[in-house]
């Protein structure tokens, strides 16, 4: 069971990678600073490097959010298995919709729902949930948005119009920093889950951090997922929220990097998606003449709000089914595989890749109706 959970955790890490590629690379792709395939390759490499730089967030998950060990409520690998199913299902559904939701909150929600059904409400450390997850979720996108707003205003105030195309070169550096910062935060979440599984299975001491082999396999999984692209969400982040110029992209990436690295240092299990989205919105407000598509932003915000409850509901259902023992675990696995295959097959009907990531309008922006011309040359709406 422990081996099965570790494999599933690595698959979640893979989905986290392609789900969050847009956080770093949507803006440089949108402005033409980087070619799509080059962008995802850089993001994958730096996610891999970033995963080795810190383990504070992993410790928050493995020894903080869910109580484990003899001093708390004993969470089992089966519950973690069910929680991962909830997280993966939400990641794939939101990817199919092109919705930049939080992989981190999907993971937390799945684990919380599964733990409550399997071990009761006492298995959740509410103080850690509030201080390390909920409060950062409220403050981080707002902070990143304000920093991006100010950075955009400063960038446009100190440069002339002809000079602003030079920000494309700066974007290569700042987007790379976002990828590096993403690796320091998001890769650790799966490390924390694997470590929690090993502790729950009796293979590792309570309160210990991730082993080196855990860090390595989690880093490789998220890097591989990042390299696959996640083009649907890149489309939404790059063109769905606002029209991005190089100066805006530079400011957004700088604000995102600063926020993520500060949160990683404090051990906050931050949603990098929320930070990146908040930064893009901040640049849209900060540049004169730019406009933010608030309807799209509103739908993304709704996705943020329902991510934890939705993933928790699926995790709770999977945990309840697993109470039947081996038949329940098999049923959970079969249902998860069936949904994953269906989502993949359905996504091929409207394939989005590196070649058409910015050709079609985003799913959240209604295209303008074309005007028909009459024989007399008049134009009718």
Cβ contact 22:234 at 8 Å: yes
Please state the pTM of the whole predicted model. Answer: 0.81
pLDDT at 348: 86
Cβ burial, residue 41 (10 Å; 0-12/13-18/19+): middle
Per-residue pLDDT of 326-370, as tens digits, reads: 999 999 999 999 999 999 999 888 888 777 776 443 333 344 455
Q: Tell which wins on pLDDT, 380 or 144.
A: 144
Distance CA 301, CA 334 (A): 32
Per-residue pLDDT of 148-206, as tens digits, reads: 999 899 988 888 887 777 888 888 888 888 888 788 777 788 888 888 888 878 888 87
Average pLDDT over residues 25-35: 85
Distance CA 154, CA 169 (A): 18
Average pLDDT of the chain? 82
Q: Give the H/E segment covering residue 379.
A: strand 379-380
Distance CA 152, CA 154 (A): 5
pLDDT at 316: 95
Q: Give the residue among 313, 353, 294 at the shortest CA–CA distance from 87.
A: 313
379 contacts: CB under 8 Å, gap ≥ 6: 371, 372, 373
Distance CA 30, CA 39 (A): 11
- In this model, does residue 288 exceed pLDDT 60? yes
Per-residue pLDDT of 47-62, as tens digits, reads: 888 888 866 666 666 5
Cβ contact 286:248 at 8 Å: yes
């Amino acid at each position: 069971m422990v081996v099965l959970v570790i494999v599933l955790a690595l698959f979640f890490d893979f989905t986290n990678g392609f789900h969050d590629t847009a956080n770093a690379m949507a803006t440089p792709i949108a402005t033409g600073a980087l070619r799509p395939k080059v962008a995802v390759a850089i993001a994958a490499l730096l996610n891999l490097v970033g995963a080795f730089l810190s383990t504070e967030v992993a410790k928050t998950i493995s020894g903080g959010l869910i109580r484990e060990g003899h001093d708390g409520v004993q969470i089992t690998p089966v519950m973690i298995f069910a929680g991962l199913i909830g997280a993966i299902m939400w990641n794939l559904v939101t990817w199919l919709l092109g919705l930049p939701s939080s992989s981190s909150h999907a993971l937390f929600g799945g684990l919380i729902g599964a733990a409550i059904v399997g071990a009761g409400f006492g298995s959740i450390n509410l103080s850690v949930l509030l201080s390390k997850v909920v409060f950062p979720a409220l403050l981080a996108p707002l902070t990143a948005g304000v920093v991006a707003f100010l950075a955009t205003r400063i960038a446009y105030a100190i440069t002339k119009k002809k000079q602003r195309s030079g920000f494309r070169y700066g974007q290569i550096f700042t987007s790379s920093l976002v990828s590096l910062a993403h690796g320091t935060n998001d890769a650790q979440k799966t490390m924390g889950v694997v470590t929690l599984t090993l502790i729950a299975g009796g293979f590792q001491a309570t309160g210990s951090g991730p082993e080196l082999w855990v860090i390595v396999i989690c880093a490789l999984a998220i890097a591989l997922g990042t390299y696959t692209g996640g083009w649907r969400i890149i489309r939404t982040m790059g063109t769905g929220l606002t029209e991005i110029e190089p100066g805006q992209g530079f400011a957004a990436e700088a604000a995102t990097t600063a926020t993520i690295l500060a949160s990683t240092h404090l051990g906050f299990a931050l949603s990098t998606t929320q930070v990146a989205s908040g930064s893009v919105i901040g640049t849209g407000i900060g540049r004169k003449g730019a406009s933010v598509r608030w309807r799209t932003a509103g739908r993304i915000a709704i996705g943020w709000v329902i991510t934890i409850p939705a993933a928790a509901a699926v995790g709770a259902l999977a945990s309840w089914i697993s109470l039947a023992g081996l038949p329940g675990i098999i049923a959970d696995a079969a249902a998860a595989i069936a949904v994953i295959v269906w989502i993949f097959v359905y996504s091929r009907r409207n394939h989005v890749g590196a070649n058409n990531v910015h050709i079609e309008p985003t799913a959240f922006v209604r295209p303008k109706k074309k005007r028909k011309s009459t024989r007399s040359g008049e134009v009718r709406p």
